[in-house]
């Protein structure tokens, strides 16, 4: 199951057009029309690529009036990064104080 | 200690200290040093520092932060003065949900110049993201930035 999903992901990423679309989406939400623009491709052609990306779970889309807007599903990444940063800060603060403690000691024994 | 280490990413920090490796190492097991630097936060009050500095020994470090007590539990796996200290680590808030996820911390110390370099490696911090699939996602998304 997991492997199947990863296969879909790698298949989705294997295509340079789709990678380009993901790069566009990393800057924010885009309509399918806007995603098609740099490639001089039809709406239908772009929609096919979007469908592949969606099946792979890399993007999601929503209706906004007559348009369909796509966006990157980056939430897991953002959360993970925040979590790691929090730990980095946690240990960094302890090391800061250890540094201060040793500096103080040096000062005293001087 | 049979709890498996949560699968996940690793946090690594490296820093140079103007101290001998021995001095630096001892700070991690000496209660009077630990009280001052390890897990201490501004405005917090260290209420418990109990250390049994032996392989298989435990430590409990509790800091009061306002209405909360932050508990840090350590279980020493390797104590090789002055080169390496390895302990299992678990942090939670007293009375809060019990965190049964143990992570592993390795403190590596090597002479460097006229001081010492300390490398801290914290494994398994990604307890919220043990789902391998998600890990796959984030890796893939992160690598997109390089395309």
Q: Which H/E stretch holds residue A97? A: helix A75-109
Same domain membership, residue A109 and residue A92: yes
Same domain membership, residue A78 and residue A64: no
Q: Which domain holds residue A64?
A: 2-73
Candidates A6, A79, A102; nearest CB to B23:
A102
Same domain membership, residue A48 and residue A35: yes
Same domain membership, residue A34 and residue A68: yes
Quick check: A83 and A98 in contact, CB under 8 A?
A: no
CB proximity under 8 Å: B 32-61 to A: 33, 36-41
Q: What is the mean pLDDT of chain B?
A: 80
Q: Do A102 and B19 touch (CB under 8 A)?
A: yes
Whole-number Å distance between alpha carbons of A93 and B13: 11
Interface predicted TM-score of the whole assembly (ipTM), two decimals: 0.77
Residue B67: how many other CB atoms lie within 10 Å: 6
Where are the domains positioned within chain B?
10-144
Q: Which chain A residue shows the shortest CA-CA distance from B124?
A: A84
Same domain membership, residue A44 and residue A8: yes
Same domain membership, residue A82 and residue A54: no
* Number of domains observed in the structure of chain A: 2
pLDDT, tens digit, for every residue of B44-56? 899 999 999 999 9
pLDDT, tens digit, for every residue of B77-110? 999 999 999 999 988 777 665 556 688 999 999 9
Give me the architecture of the B10-144 domain, per CATH: 2-Layer Sandwich (3.30)
Residue in the structure block whose two tokens are 């980095």: A88
Same domain membership, residue A64 and residue A31: yes
Using the Cβ of B139 and the Cβ atoms of chain A, whether some distance falls under 8 Å is answered with no
pLDDT, tens digit, for every residue of A28-48? 899 999 999 988 889 999 999
Same domain membership, residue A93 and residue A81: yes
Candidates A74, A87, A91; nearest CB to B141:
A74
Same domain membership, residue A20 and residue A46: yes
Q: Is residue A87 packed enough to be buried (19+ CB in 10 Å), middle (13-18) or exposed (0-12)?
A: middle
């Amino acid at each position: 199951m997991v492997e199947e999903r990863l296969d879909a992901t790698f298949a989705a990423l294997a295509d340079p057009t789709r990678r380009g679309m993901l790069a566009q989406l990393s800057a924010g939400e885009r309509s399918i029309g806007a995603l098609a623009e740099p490639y001089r491709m039809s709406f239908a052609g772009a929609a096919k690529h979007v469908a592949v990306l969606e099946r792979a779970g890399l993007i999601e889309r929503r209706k906004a009036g007559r348009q369909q807007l796509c966006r990157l599903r980056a939430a897991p990444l953002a959360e993970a990064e925040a979590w790691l940063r929090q730990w980095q800060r946690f240990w960094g603060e302890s090391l800061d104080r250890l540094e201060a403690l040793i500096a103080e000691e040096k000062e005293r024994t001087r | 200690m049979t709890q498996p280490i949560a699968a996940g990413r690793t946090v690594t920090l490296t820093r140079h200290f103007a101290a001998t490796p021995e001095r630096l190492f001892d700070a991690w097991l000496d209660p009077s040093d630990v009280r001052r630097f390890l897990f201490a936060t501004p405005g917090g009050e260290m209420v418990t520092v109990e250390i049994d500095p032996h392989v298989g020994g435990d430590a409990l470090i509790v800091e009061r932060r306002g209405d909360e007590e932050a508990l840090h539990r350590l279980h020493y796996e390797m104590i090789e003065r002055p080169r390496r200290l390895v302990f299992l680590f678990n942090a939670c808030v007293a009375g809060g949900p019990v965190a049964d996820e143990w992570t592993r911390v390795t403190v590596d110390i090597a002479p460097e110049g006229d001081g010492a370099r300390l490398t801290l490696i914290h494994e398994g911090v990604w307890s919220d993201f043990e789902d391998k699939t998600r890990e796959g996602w984030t890796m893939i998304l992160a690598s997109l930035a390089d395309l």
